[in-house]
């Protein structure tokens, strides 16, 4: 292009001048990339475009759009960082970015890479749903979904609410993003709904598990469970995927004690396997499933209050066996007065141990390389004394604590705050707390964001790492 | 059409737009007409470039507006219809192309389509980002490819014609014609762009089938008229051609598939016939050292299942067969040195083949080793012959050779030694041969001797060589002793004959006790003086003279006064000394005077009287053999050009049959205590063991030295039971118990 690659734009009457190098940052898959592409600028005798050289041979293009947004986006292409003037509404900017095909650029510059110790509250989104929230899940692109009652509310990364998703309005137990645009929902089977139909037609319209488009809310696929080659209705509990992305797992409860963990092929959606619950291992009631890449095994945790005793096991699907298990069945029954009850569990990222938490917010560790057994084995770190705990007022609601890991850090929610633990010894390094909203009933990390769902009025907080400082 | 539907709940902004749209109900229709015109023009861009007169920005904005105003579906369906209609037109143009122009036309149209598709997608980018994902439609680019696939590639008039053209071109190239590879590349790339399934189903699968039948026919023709080497050359060339073809104009994923077709049709299906081909198969290649052919065969056979194992099996059976012939050929057995040299040459030859042609394949090396191990042990004289070979090399053969050369030869011998099962037999012979070399001073170099010992030691351990090393120590001590003897007793000895004694430790040397002969009085005096000296310095020892092993240098004056120095054995010296006092003596007289054992005496007389040029004695009657009635006379007429005459003993280098038997027997005797020791060692640690386990354990412990015979082991166990080292279990007779 002429003149050292300079380009002139007339956007809504305002003239901008820039270079092709800057515009190349937009990529060929953007409107600006296509506009400058040689196939649209072939020398031709008859036509007005390519734009007539004006003012010293610099080509000029007219674009019928908002100039102030174009200024911000051009600045983004020049510097890679996003600076939105205070008077410019974000939604307006997003709309213009979508026009130019630069929305992904805006999202990438909007917040920084996740760092548990540098999180800032970015937004508080009030919910409108009645009743308590069940779960919140982060999407890989920075959006999220909130499950409560029979519906899942879906938000994109701009925190605009999309069409809510529901599986026959059955009570939702868990939700999970297969990818940014596909959402899995696990729901309770609705028996009364199933009038007159034979068992064989597999719980149509009665809960279970299904995949939805996170964009349009459409039902994409309903997952089935067959026992003895007959499709049966079931209640799906917790969800998980394996590391290679080939399988989907869910804890399942059928009507006739068909309890266990179902496995589906991710590509076809067909049932691939079913791990029936062996005696003493409450797999069908599991609250949490987690795939361990290193061990090629699925961690299953059944926890109070859904089951009376905590059971944690590793399932090896190739050997069809429980490779490791631990339970507090005997400890609870023993007269030792050890009333520490495991309320949540998460496998650590190195795959060597499982972190658990009790009602006193003590963290404990189970070594996966040693035998599990019952009762003992938990290495408790009594950190509750070190914590500045908010003293609950009588009558104030509390929630069960939750655990998560991300990037070598450990996160736990208790009451109205999320604690961040770092380093090999998991030292408390940050606490995220907001003054109102009540206790945190669930939180989730994904798409470089942390979402915390509060018990009161389903308000959820979005925590982000700010973009890196200028110097 | 969704745009015309009843108003839904929308936010404020959209309502404002909708309001504007309503001002112009024909807006969508008009915008679409503009876009349709542009799209159609793009598809025919060679005819009139961008004649709509609209800039990209305007087209993009139009498409944007349509999507924004909920006319996405209309836009998408319109695009689909326009493209479909246009592609149907194009398919007619391609169908109409004549003969060879067909592919060119198809390719040109494909290029146009791609270019147009890119620009259409540019215009409709906004729809691609917003409308397409939310309504689960196929993205524009993919839609364009799918339509091309359905309306062009799968059109009945094009589908089979395309396949036939491609396969025909490939066939023509195989037959040596030059084809337009660039065009082929574009077409296969197009099929890949349409999806791997299109490439595989519509081209690759039939291509592989046609190739299989082509190569099946071609290989059948070749195998009838080519020899193995030429056939392999052709197969290799075909294989390379196919790989080259893939790299030039097929998808990389096809390489493994087409090469496996060639391998199967050209190699695997004819594998056995090739290997066993008369006059040119594997065996002939091995015989003629055809490294290049062998290397090719290895490289090709490695590609097919069971290829290498077939090669290996044929090579092994060939090696075993020729080796067996070699070691059992009576002609070969006449000269042990030649025999071993033959084995070494054979080994070198095949080592080189494996190294050069088979890429030092471990499995082939193992096959070679096991074959040698197999046939070397077929001949139970191999240990003796190998020892003789070493003897020959260390005696004289290595004169002038550098130390490295010697090392190389010794290393090769050690290789053969490793194949021997009866290592103890080798040890026995080696000891004998070493003793002879040391005592006669024939060994070339002390260093090489020691180097050989070190090699044996590293191979078989300290025990194996301790006695051999003892022999070297004896030689050194004897030298010192003699120096000391002459230093101390010089005045006592005067001018008498010089004595050189080797003091040999009993047990270290392979001596057979033989009664000493009567030494001449001159010698006897010196001997007695030495005995007195030696026993005086070393108390508690015994000296026995081994007169059968010594040598002597004597001076003799013959008839015409010519003087010669005669180098003879001790026995011969005793005989000759008798002629100082007599001119003629009968056999009986000599035997009486010397008391030399009859067999030795005969041999020594034979060498004194019957060897031409060395006959210092004259025999009557003249004949080759010595009989007890012969009379011997001092040969006055003896002449020789040499001052120093060396009179050898007529001694068979190779053992005679009875000697062989004797050695064998001694080996067997020596094995007995070793087997017993092994049994006791095993039983001491195990306490109780059954018969079969003992046999296998003993075999395992001893196989480094020899393979014990189970019958012998059983006899040793019985002997140990008799001597109450072991007892049979009272209940289970097969069990033995150790008695501490």
- The chain-wide mean pLDDT, for chain B, equals 84
Chain A residue nearest residue B63, CA to CA? A99
- Count contacts between A and B (CB, < 8 Å): 62
The enclosing H or E element of B480 equals helix B462-493
In this structure, are A139 and A98 located in the same domain?
no
Residue B335 has what DSSP assignment?
A: -
In this prediction, residue B44 carries a pLDDT of: 64
Chain A residues with beta carbon closer than 8 angstroms to that of B64: 99
Number of Cβ within 10 Å of residue B280's Cβ equals 19
Determine contact, residues B303/B263, Cβ cutoff 8 Å: yes
Task: Specify the DSSP class assigned to residue B557.
Answer: E
Element (H, E) at B551: strand B551-557
Give the number of other Cβ atoms within 10 Å of residue A52's Cβ: 8
Report the chain A residue with the minimal C-alpha distance to residue B50: A47
In A, minimum Cα distance to B61 occurs at A64
Q: How far is A11 from chain B (nearest CA, A)?
A: 11
In a domain, A19, yes or no: yes
pLDDT digits (tens, 9 = 90+) for B616-637: 888 888 777 788 888 888 888 8
At A278 the pLDDT is 84
Query: Contacts of residue B66 in chain A, CB cutoff 8 Å?
Result: none
Cβ within 8 Å, pair B125-A34: yes
Residues of chain A with Cβ-Cβ distance to B134 below 8 Å are 213, 215-216
Residues of chain B positioned with their CB less than 8 A from the CB of A64: 57, 61
User: In terms of domains, do A99 and A166 share one?
Assistant: no
Per the structure, how many domains does chain A have? 2
Residues A85 and A164 in one domain: no
Residue B695 belongs to what H/E stretch? helix B691-702
Six-digit token string for B464: 């194996």
Find the mean pLDDT for residues A276-289: 85
pLDDT value of position A379: 79
Question: Is A469 among the domain residues?
Answer: no
Which residues of A are less than 8 Å from B126 in CB distance? 31, 98-99, 101
What is the rounded average pLDDT of the residues A68-72? 94
For the cut 60, the answer to whether the pLDDT of residue B337 exceeds it is: yes
Strand order from edge to edge, sheet including A440-446: A120-125, A460-464, A449-454, A440-446
A39 vs B: CB within 8 A: yes
Whole-Å CA distances, A234 to A261, A273, B484: 11, 15, 108
Q: Do B350 and B319 contact (CB within 8 A), yes or no?
A: yes
Quick one: closest CA in A to B125, which residue? A31
CB-nearest partner of A61 from B57, B61, B133: B57
Give pLDDT, residue A3.
47
Name the residue with tokens 């309503």. Answer: B22
Q: Write down the residue that tokens 């023993």 correspond to.
A: A334
Q: Are residues A241 and A321 in the same domain?
A: yes
Distance CA A134, CA A140 (A): 20
Q: Which of A62, A99, A216 has its CB closest to that of B134? A: A216
- Given a cut of 90, is residue B573 above it in pLDDT? no
Q: What is the pLDDT of residues A383-408, one digit of tens each?
A: 554 455 555 555 556 778 899 999 88
| A38: containing domain | 6-110
For the stretch B212-247, pLDDT in tens is: 999 999 999 998 888 899 999 999 999 999 999 999
Inspect the interface and report whether the beta carbons of A98 and B119 lie closer than 8 Å.
no
Q: Which residue among B56, B64, B130 sits closest to A40, beta carbon to beta carbon?
A: B56
- Our CA-based measurement puts residue A275 at a distance from the nearest CA of chain B, in whole angstroms, of 34
| Closest chain B residue to the Cα of A98, Cα to Cα | B126
Q: Is the pLDDT of residue A467 over 80?
A: yes
Clarify whether residues A422 and A353 are in a common domain: yes
Least CB–CB distance from B57: residue in A35, A42, A213:
A35
Give yes or no: residues A367 and A416 share one domain: yes
Residue pair A69/A99 in contact (Cβ under 8 Å)? The answer is no
In a domain, A471, yes or no: no
> Both tokens of residue A132?
């308590």
Q: Are residues A104 and A123 in the same domain?
A: no
**pLDDT tier, B81 (very low <50, low <70, confident <90, very high otherwise):** very high
Q: Which residue has the higher pLDDT, A41 or A28?
A: A28
Q: Which residues contact A383 (CB under 8 A, 6 or more apart)?
A: A361, A362, A363, A428
Instruction: Report angle CA A273, A276, A281 to the nearest 5 degrees.
Output: 135
Measured in angstroms, the CA of A188 and the nearest CA of chain B are apart by 28
Tell me which of A191-205, A232-246, B63-77 is least confident. Answer: A191-205
**More confidently predicted of B394 and B19:** B394
Query: Distance, in angstroms, between A350 CA and closest chain B CA?
Result: 36
All residues of chain A having their beta carbon less than 8 Å from the beta carbon of residue B135 are 216
Which residues is A239 bridged to in the sheet?
A250
Closest Cα in chain B to A44:
B49
Q: What's the pLDDT score for residue B16?
A: 44
Tell me if A46 and B51 make a contact (CB, 8 A cut-off): yes
Contact B371, B323 (CB under 8 A): yes
Q: What is the CATH number of the domain that holds A12?
A: 3.30.710.10
Place of tokens 């006055």: B636
The mean pLDDT value for A154-174 works out to 89
The model's pLDDT over B438-479, given as tens digits with 9 standing for 90+, comes to 887 777 777 888 888 898 888 888 878 888 888 888 888 888
**pLDDT for residue B157 is more than 90:** no
User: Is-contact B419 B372, C-beta < 8 A?
Assistant: yes
Tell me whether residues A39 and B57 touch, CB distance under 8 A.
no
**Quick check: A43 contacting B, CB < 8 Å?**
no
Band (A68; pLDDT cuts 50, 70, 90): very high
Confidence class of residue B396 from pLDDT cuts 50, 70 and 90?
Answer: low
pLDDT at A188 over 50: yes
User: Do both A291 and A239 map to the same domain?
Assistant: yes
Q: In the predicted model, what is the mean pLDDT of residues A75-102? A: 91
Q: Which tens digit of pLDDT belongs to each residue from A287-310?
A: 899 998 888 889 999 887 777 778
The strand order across the sheet containing A373-374 reads: A288-292, A297-302, A311-316, A321-327, A373-374
Q: Does B135 sit within 8 Å of A47, measured CB to CB?
A: no
- pLDDT at A197 > cutoff 60: no
> Is A49's pLDDT higher than 80?
no
Q: Do both A429 and A286 map to the same domain?
A: yes
Residues A168 and A81 reside in one and the same domain: no
Mean pLDDT, residues B5-10 taken together: 49
Question: Chain A within 8 Å of B56 (Cβ-Cβ)?
Answer: yes
Least CB-CB distance to A47: which of B50, B64, B115? B50
- Tell which residue, A467, A356, A465, has the closest CA to residue A401: A356
Partner residue opposite B126 with nearest CB, options A46, A62, A99? A99
Instruction: Clarify whether residues A104 and A158 are in a common domain.
Output: no
Does a structural domain hold residue A470?
no
Percent of chain B with pLDDT over 70: 92
CB atoms within 10 A of CB A402: 23
Are A314 and A292 in contact by the 8 Å Cβ rule? The answer is: yes
Tell me which chain B residue has its CA closest to the CA of residue A33: B122
- B137 contact residues in A (CB cutoff 8 A): none
Q: Categorize the per-residue pLDDT at B649 as very low, low, confident or very high, splitting at 50, 70 and 90.
A: low
Q: Is A349 domain-assigned?
A: yes
Minimum CA–CA partner of A162 in chain B = B134
Band of residue B43 on the pLDDT scale cut at 50, 70, 90: low
Give CA–CA dist B392/B398, Å, rounded: 8
Q: Determine, yes or no, domain membership for A389.
A: yes
Calculate how close chain A gets to B122, using CA atoms only, in Å. 6
pLDDT for the residue B220: 92
- Of A95, A110, A125, the one marking the end of a domain is A110
> Is a pLDDT exceeding 70 seen at residue B10?
no
- Chain A partners of B8 at a C-beta cutoff of 8 Å? none
Q: Name every residue whose Cβ is closer than 8 Å to that of residue B686 and which is 6 or more positions away in sequence.
A: B738
Rounded to whole angstroms, what are the CA distances from B513 to B475, B507, B545?
20, 11, 10
Q: Does A435 touch chain B (CB under 8 A)?
A: no
Boundary of a domain, candidates A56, A90, A110: A110
A299 within domain boundaries: yes
- Could you count the other beta carbons within 10 Å of the beta carbon of residue B207? 22
Report yes or no: A300 and A252 within 8 Å, Cβ to Cβ.
Answer: no
Q: Chain A interface, mutation test: which of B58, B126, B129, most A Cβ atoms within 10 Å?
A: B129
Cβ–Cβ gap B56/A35 under 8 Å: yes
Of A257 and A168, more confident: A168
Dihedral over Cα of B634, B638, B640, B642: its sign: positive
pLDDT tops 50 at residue A352: yes
Length of chain A: 471
Q: Give the model confidence (pLDDT) of B180-202 as tens digits.
A: 999 999 999 999 999 899 999 99
Query: β-pairing, A342-347 with A288-292?
Result: unpaired
pLDDT band at A337 (very low <50, low <70, confident <90, very high): very low
CA distance to partner chain B, nearest, from residue A250 (Å):
26
Task: Report pLDDT for B149.
Answer: 93
For residue A182, being part of any structural domain is answered with: yes
CB atoms under 10 Å from CB of B679, counted, come to 25
More confident residue, B317 or B398: B317
pLDDT at res. A43: 53
- Predicted local confidence at residue B351, as pLDDT: 92
CATH of residue A159: 2.130.10.10
Lowest mean pLDDT among A359-373, B146-160, B327-341, B578-592: A359-373
Looking at the structure, tell me whether residues A422 and A286 fall in a common domain. yes
In chain A, which among 365-424 make CB contacts under 8 A with chain B? Answer: none
A110, A144, A163 — which closes off a domain?
A110
Strand A60-63 versus strand A6-11 pairing type: parallel
- Which residue from A34, A62, A216 is facing B122, i.e. has the nearest CB? A34
Give me the pLDDT at residue A4, please: 55
């Amino acid at each position: 292009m002429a003149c050292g690659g300079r380009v002139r734009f007339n956007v809504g009457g305002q003239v901008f001048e820039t270079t092709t190098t800057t515009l190349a940052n937009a990529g060929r898959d953007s409107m600006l990339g296509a506009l400058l592409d040689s196939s649209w600028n072939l020398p031709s005798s008859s036509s007005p475009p390519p734009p007539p050289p004006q003012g010293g041979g610099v080509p000029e293009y007219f674009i019928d759009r908002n100039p102030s947004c174009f200024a911000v986006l051009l600045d983004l292409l020049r510097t890679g960082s996003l600076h939105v003037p205070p008077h410019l509404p974000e939604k307006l900017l997003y709309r213009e970015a979508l026009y130019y095909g630069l929305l992904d650029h805006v999202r990438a510059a909007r917040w920084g890479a996740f760092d548990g110790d540098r999180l800032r509250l970015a937004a508080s989104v009030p919910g409108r749903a009645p009743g308590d929230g069940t779960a919140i899940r982060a999407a890989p692109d920075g959006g999220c979904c909130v499950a409560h009652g029979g519906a899942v509310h879906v938000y994109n990364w701009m925190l605009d609410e999309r069409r809510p998703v529901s599986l026959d309005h059955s009570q939702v137990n868990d939700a999970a993003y297969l990818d940014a645009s596909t959402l899995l929902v696990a729901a309770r089977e609705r028996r009364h709904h199933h009038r007159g139909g034979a068992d064989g037609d597999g719980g149509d319209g009665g809960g279970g598990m299904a995949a939805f488009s996170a964009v349009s809310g459409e039902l994409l696929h309903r997952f089935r469970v067959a026992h003895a080659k007959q499709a049966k209705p079931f209640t799906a509990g917790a969800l998980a995927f394996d590391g290679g992305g080939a399988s989907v797992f869910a804890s399942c409860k059928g009507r006739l004690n068909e309890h266990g963990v179902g496995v589906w092929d991710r590509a076809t959606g067909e049932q691939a396997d079913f791990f029936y619950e062996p005696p003493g291992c409450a797999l069908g009631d599991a609250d949490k499933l987690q795939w361990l890449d290193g061990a090629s095994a699925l961690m299953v945790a059944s926890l109070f209050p859904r089951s009376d005793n905590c059971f944690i096991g590793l399932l090896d699907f190739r050997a069809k066996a429980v490779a490791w298990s631990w339970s507090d069945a005997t400890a609870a029954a023993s007269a030792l007065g050890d009333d520490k009850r495991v309320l949540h569990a998460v496998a650590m990222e190195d795959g060597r141990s499982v972190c658990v938490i009790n009602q006193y917010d003590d963290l404990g560790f189970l070594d996966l390389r040693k035998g599990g057994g019952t009762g003992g084995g938990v290495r408790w770190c009594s950190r509750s004394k070190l914590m500045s705990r908010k003293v609950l007022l009588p009558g104030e609601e509390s929630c069960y604590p939750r655990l998560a890991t991300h990037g070598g850090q450990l996160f736990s929610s208790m009451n109205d705050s999320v604690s961040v633990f770092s380093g090999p010894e998991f030292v408390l390094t940050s606490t995220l707390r907001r003054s109102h909203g009540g206790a945190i009933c669930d939180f989730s990390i994904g798409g470089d964001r942390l979402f915390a769902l509060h018990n009161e009025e389903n308000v959820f907080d979005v925590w982000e790492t700010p973009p890196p400082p200028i110097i | 059409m969704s745009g015309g539907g009843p108003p839904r709940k929308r936010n404020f902004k959209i309502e404002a737009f909708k309001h504007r749209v309503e001002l112009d109900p024909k807006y969508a229709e008009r915008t679409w007409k503009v876009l349709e015109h542009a799209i159609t023009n793009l598809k025919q861009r060679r005819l009139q470039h961008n004649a709509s007169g609209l800039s990209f920005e305007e087209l993009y904005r139009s498409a944007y507006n349509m999507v924004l105003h909920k006319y996405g579906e209309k836009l998408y369906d319109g695009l689909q219809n326009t493209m479909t209609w246009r592609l149907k037109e194009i398919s007619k143009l391609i169908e109409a192309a004549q003969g060879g122009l067909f592919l060119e036309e198809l390719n040109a149209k494909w290029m146009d389509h791609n270019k147009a598709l890119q620009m259409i997608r540019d215009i409709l980018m906004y729809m691609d980002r917003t409308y397409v994902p939310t309504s689960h439609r196929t993205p524009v680019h993919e839609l364009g490819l799918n339509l091309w696939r359905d309306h062009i590639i799968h059109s009945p008039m094009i589908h089979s014609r395309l396949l036939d053209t491609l396969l025909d071109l490939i066939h023509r190239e195989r037959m040596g014609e030059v084809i337009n590879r660039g065009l082929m590349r574009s077409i296969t790339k197009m099929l890949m762009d349409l999806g791997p399934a299109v490439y595989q189903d519509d081209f690759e699968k039939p291509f592989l089938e046609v190739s299989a039948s082509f190569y099946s026919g071609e290989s059948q023709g070749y195998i009838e008229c080519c020899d193995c080497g030429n056939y392999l050359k052709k197969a290799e060339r075909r294989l390379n051609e196919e790989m080259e073809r893939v790299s030039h104009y097929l998808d990389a994923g096809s390489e493994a598939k087409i090469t496996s077709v060639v391998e199967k049709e050209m190699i695997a299906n004819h594998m056995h016939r090739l290997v066993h081909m008369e006059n040119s198969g594997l065996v002939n290649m091995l015989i003629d050292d055809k490294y290049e052919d062998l290397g090719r065969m290895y490289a090709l056979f490695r590609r097919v299942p069971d290829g290498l194992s077939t090669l290996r099996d044929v090579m092994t059976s060939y090696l075993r067969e020729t080796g067996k012939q070699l070691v059992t050929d009576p002609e070969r057995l006449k000269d042990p040195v030649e025999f071993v040299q033959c084995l070494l040459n054979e080994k070198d030859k095949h080592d080189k083949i494996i190294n050069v042609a088979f890429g030092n394949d471990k499995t082939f090396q193992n096959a070679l080793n096991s074959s040698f191990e197999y046939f070397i042990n077929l001949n139970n004289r191999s240990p003796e012959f190998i020892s003789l070979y070493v003897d020959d090399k260390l005696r004289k053969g290595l004169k002038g050779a550098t130390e490295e050369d010697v090392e190389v030869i010794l290393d090769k011998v050690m290789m053969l030694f490793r194949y021997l099962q009866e290592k103890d037999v080798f040890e026995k012979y080696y000891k004998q041969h070493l003793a002879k070399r040391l005592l006669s001073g024939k060994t070339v170099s002390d260093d090489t001797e020691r180097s050989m010992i070190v090699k044996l030691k590293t191979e078989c351990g300290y025990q194996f060589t301790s006695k051999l090393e003892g022999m070297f120590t004896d030689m050194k001590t004897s030298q010192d002793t003699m120096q000391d003897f002459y230093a101390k007793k010089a005045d006592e000895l005067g001018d008498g004959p010089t004595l050189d004694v080797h003091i040999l430790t009993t047990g270290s040397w392979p001596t057979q006790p033989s009664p000493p002969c009567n030494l001449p009085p001159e010698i006897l005096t010196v001997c007695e003086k030495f005995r007195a000296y030696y026993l005086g310095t070393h108390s508690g020892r015994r000296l026995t003279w081994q007169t059968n092993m010594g040598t002597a240098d004597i001076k003799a004056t013959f008839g015409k006064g010519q003087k010669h120095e005669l180098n003879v054995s001790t026995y011969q010296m005793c005989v000759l000394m008798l002629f100082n006092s007599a001119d003629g003596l009968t056999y009986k007289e000599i035997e009486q005077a010397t008391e030399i054992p009859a067999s030795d005496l005969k041999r020594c007389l034979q060498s004194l009287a019957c060897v031409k040029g060395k006959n210092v004695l004259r025999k009557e009657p003249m004949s080759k053999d010595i009989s007890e009635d012969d009379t011997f006379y001092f040969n006055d007429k003896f002449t020789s050009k040499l001052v120093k005459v060396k009179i050898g003993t007529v001694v068979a280098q190779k053992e005679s049959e009875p000697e062989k038997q004797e050695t064998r027997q001694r080996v067997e005797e020596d094995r007995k205590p070793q087997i017993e020791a092994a049994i006791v060692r095993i039983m001491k640690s195990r306490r109780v063991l059954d018969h079969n386990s003992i046999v296998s354990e003993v075999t395992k412990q001893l196989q480094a030295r020899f393979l014990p015979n189970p019958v012998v082991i059983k006899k040793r166990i019985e002997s140990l039971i008799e001597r109450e080292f072991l007892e049979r279990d009272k209940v289970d007779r097969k069990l033995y118990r150790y008695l501490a």
